[in-house]
A and B are shown apart, each in its own frame.
Chain A
Amino acid sequence: MMYKMDANVKKAIMLVTVIMMCMLPHILSKSIMTIVCSIMGYLIIAGALNVINGYSGQMCFGIAGFYCVGAYTMAILMNTFHVSFWIGIIPSGLFAAIIGALIAIPTLKMKGMFMAMITIGFSEVMRLIALNWTSVTGGTMGIKGLKAPMFFGLKTSGASRYYYIYLATVLLFLFSTDRVIHSRIGRAWMAIREDDMAAKSLGISLNLYKIINFMYGAFWAGIAGALLAPYKTYIDSAYFTLDEGFNILSMVIIGGQGTLAGPFIGVTVYQFLVEGLRFAGVWRYIACAILIIAMMWLRPQGLAGNSESVLAGKKNRSRSFIKLPEVFSLDRTFGTRRLGKANIG
């Protein structure tokens, strides 16, 4: 039988973890906190990407575009309109979600590789708009002089303090995503991922739930961007390149798509690898490439994606039958699964 943890024990463990997370800035040095902050930031955006790619099986490669929209919205709201950070954060997310819907609606019938190409294009368009619309986005100069928000008279500048804002957002993200995944909507997403024809025959409106999925992912990506802007105090379009999008995608793949813990593990491993190998200069990204290839070969389902994995914890859920590189398999990539058979009779 499935091993079920006692609910109280589970709650206690969660509480202890949260308290320990709160203590972190007092234990770790400032330089480590900087890394922890970037992990937190990536965690939100990788989690958002995981909602799109992992749960509903759409191929979004352009998450950096939503990240960009969120960050610039926040920066413009703060600098031009002098809106407080606390008020600006929700509109930043919502604006990214609206853009998400605008991308999702024309691509409803697209799958796999085609979806990926559209989203890559979208991501670059967003970056180029940020780079060239000088009057609004500052162009190559970016937007500078963003102030860290005040929290009841406390200044939150610096990684050790800004960390708490990240922590609160991450907890909120994990909580809300956990609820969504286990609701009607989450089930609909997973059904669409597994088999869209069967999902349709069960009465799931593919269009509606795909749009909701994109909007939800884009919303949190926008929030991640909105958090980034005052943390860095300066943003320009170089933060939101395609490379960034692919980095985030690799974190999700390494961690395990379609699991809540996956992005967390993926981001942590990836960030510590990148930071730990800093002495190697740009060559350290080779290690990331090797890690991804090794993952594709040995554990295509990601570190958290399997039952036999220690990290996943569920012993009897064997996912070992999942074929090799799932993300790059022909079926998923080109959506050929249904092209071959026109079913008559």
Chain B
Amino acid sequence: MERALPEVSHEWGETMLKVNDLVVDYGYVHAVKGIDLEVNQGEIITLIGANGAGKTTTLKAISNLIKKSSGSITFQGEDLTNMSPHKIVEHGICHVPEGRLIFPDLTVKENLMTGTFGNKKLSGTEKDELLEEMFEWFPRLKERMNQLGGTLSGGEQQMLAIARGLMMNPQIIMMDEPSLGLAPIIVEEIFELIEKIRESGKTVLLIEQNASMALNIADRAYVLENGRVTLSGTGKELLDDPKVQAAYLGT
């Protein structure tokens, strides 16, 4: 489990995504009460926190799937705050939603091809190359290429959802609880995959309930509680933090 973290990992690359004082309300419920985040190029950032802490809401607000009450979001110097979701995707921000949400009545290949939608610059051959690359990363999807998405197992569906997101060749991939409801061995596979994605030069913003695994691979992490960031630091710092240990790691 223990993995040596690159010493200066949080200093490499420049700021890619910046969330400033984000507030989101669901009617009278204040889900997110002013969150500041920073994601640098090439990092794995994770947000951990209990149910209802505002993790998913933050992510949805970044890709503008829900309405923000206030705050701003900038990506590579550009203001995304009031941009419509499909425009945000065109900037190279990929959101792998919670609960997988693959298309059950489309085949695996059709699912993947749908993923290319957000990137208009991809040519036909580039799409084929990406497809090949995905099949290399996920050999199991290749076996099931012509099977319907709904017939896959939970782990395979999650892999399909991630692969579908990667098909648009994004700069940053935001994953919402990729380990949700999966067997521990599959979870390990998924986490190995996330590191692989980072090695391929993409930035990862990860939401996890499985705090110990997430902190192990994360360069930096934020702990969310009741819609606020209560702690932040490198993955290792947080792993050693007694408060985090008590609340999330159960040791």
Name A residues whose Cβ lies closer than 8 Å to a Cβ of B.
Answer: 1-2, 184, 187-188, 190-191, 193-195, 197-205, 258, 316-319, 321-322, 342-345
B95 contacts partner chain A, Cβ-Cβ < 8 Å: yes
B138 contacts partner chain A, Cβ-Cβ < 8 Å: no
Q: How far is the CA of A317 from the CA of B110 in the complex (A)?
A: 12
Q: How far is the CB of B131 from chain A (nearest CB, A)?
A: 14
Check B151 against A321 for contact (C-beta < 8 Å): yes
Name B residues whose Cβ lies closer than 8 Å to a Cβ of A.
Answer: 26, 29, 31, 49-57, 60, 63, 65, 84-86, 88-90, 95-98, 101-107, 110, 113-115, 117-119, 146-148, 150-151, 164-165, 168
Q: How far is the CA of A141 from the CA of B118 in the complex (A)?
A: 52
Check A344 against B110 for contact (C-beta < 8 Å): no
Contact among A2, A184, A191, A203 for B168, CB-based, below 8 A: A203
Check B114 against A344 for contact (C-beta < 8 Å): no
Residues from chain B with Cβ under 8 Å of A190 in the complex: 103, 105-106, 110, 114
Q: How far is the CB of A270 from chain B (nearest CB, A)?
A: 24
Contact among A188, A197, A317 for B117, CB-based, below 8 A: A188
Q: How far is the CB of B88 from chain A (nearest CB, A)?
A: 8
Check B117 against A191 for contact (C-beta < 8 Å): yes
Q: How far is the CA of A190 from the CA of B148 in the complex (A)?
A: 13
Q: How far is the CB of B162 from chain A (nearest CB, A)?
A: 13
Residues from chain A with Cβ under 8 Å of B101 in the complex: 195, 197-198, 201
Check A202 against B51 for contact (C-beta < 8 Å): no
Q: How far is the CA of A319 from the CA of B106 in the complex (A)?
A: 10
Check B114 against A200 for contact (C-beta < 8 Å): no
Majority SS at the chain A contact face = loop
Residues from chain B with Cβ under 8 Å of A200 in the complex: 65, 85-86
For the A-B complex with A197-B97, A198-B97, A316-B147 known, give 20 more contacts whose Cβ atoms are closer than 8 Å.
Answer: A190-B114, A197-B65, A198-B101, A198-B103, A201-B65, A201-B89, A201-B101, A202-B114, A202-B117, A202-B168, A203-B117, A203-B168, A204-B86, A204-B117, A204-B118, A344-B52, A345-B50, A345-B53, A345-B55, A345-B57
15 contacts between A and B (CB under 8 A): A191-B103, A198-B103, A199-B114, A200-B85, A202-B114, A202-B168, A203-B85, A203-B117, A316-B146, A343-B57, A344-B31, A344-B56, A345-B31, A345-B50, A345-B57
Contact among B31, B95, B103 for A195, CB-based, below 8 A: B103
Residues from chain A with Cβ under 8 Å of B85 in the complex: 200-201, 203, 205
Closest chain A residue, CB of each to CB of B167: A202
Check B110 against A203 for contact (C-beta < 8 Å): no
Check A201 against B95 for contact (C-beta < 8 Å): yes
Given contacts A203-B90, A344-B52, contact A198 B102 (CB under 8 A): yes
List of 8 A-B pairs having minimum Cβ-Cβ separation, nearest first: A203-B89, A203-B118, A194-B103, A198-B101, A345-B52, A205-B86, A201-B95, A203-B86
Residues from chain A with Cβ under 8 Å of B89 in the complex: 201-203
Check A319 against B117 for contact (C-beta < 8 Å): no
Closest chain B residue, CB of each to CB of A1: B146
Q: How far is the CB of B108 from chain A (nearest CB, A)?
A: 11
Q: How far is the CB of B38 from chain A (nearest CB, A)?
A: 21
Residues from chain B with Cβ under 8 Å of A187 in the complex: 110, 113-114, 117
Q: How far is the CA of A84 from the CA of B52 in the complex (A)?
A: 66
Residues from chain B with Cβ under 8 Å of A344 in the complex: 26, 29, 31, 52, 54, 56-57
Closest chain B residue, CB of each to CB of A301: B105
Closest chain B residue, CB of each to CB of A208: B86
Residues from chain B with Cβ under 8 Å of A199 in the complex: 114
Q: How far is the CB of A113 from chain B (nearest CB, A)?
A: 21
Q: How far is the CB of B104 from chain A (nearest CB, A)?
A: 6
Check B114 against A321 for contact (C-beta < 8 Å): no
Residues from chain B with Cβ under 8 Å of A193 in the complex: 105
Check A2 against B146 for contact (C-beta < 8 Å): yes
Check A194 against B105 for contact (C-beta < 8 Å): yes
Residues from chain B with Cβ under 8 Å of A205 in the complex: 84-86
Q: How far is the CA of A345 from the CA of B164 in the complex (A)?
A: 24
Check A342 against B26 for contact (C-beta < 8 Å): yes
Q: How far is the CB of B2 from chain A (nearest CB, A)?
A: 29
Q: How far is the CB of A215 from chain B (nearest CB, A)?
A: 19
Contact among B53, B54, B106, B164 for A202, CB-based, below 8 A: B164
Check A202 against B105 for contact (C-beta < 8 Å): no
Residues from chain A with Cβ under 8 Å of B26 in the complex: 342, 344
Given contacts A201-B63, A204-B86, contact A317 B148 (CB under 8 A): yes
Q: How far is the CB of A300 from chain B (nearest CB, A)?
A: 13
Q: How far is the CA of A191 from the CA of B148 in the complex (A)?
A: 14
Q: How far is the CA of A166 from the CA of B95 in the complex (A)?
A: 46
Q: How far is the CB of B210 from chain A (nearest CB, A)?
A: 15
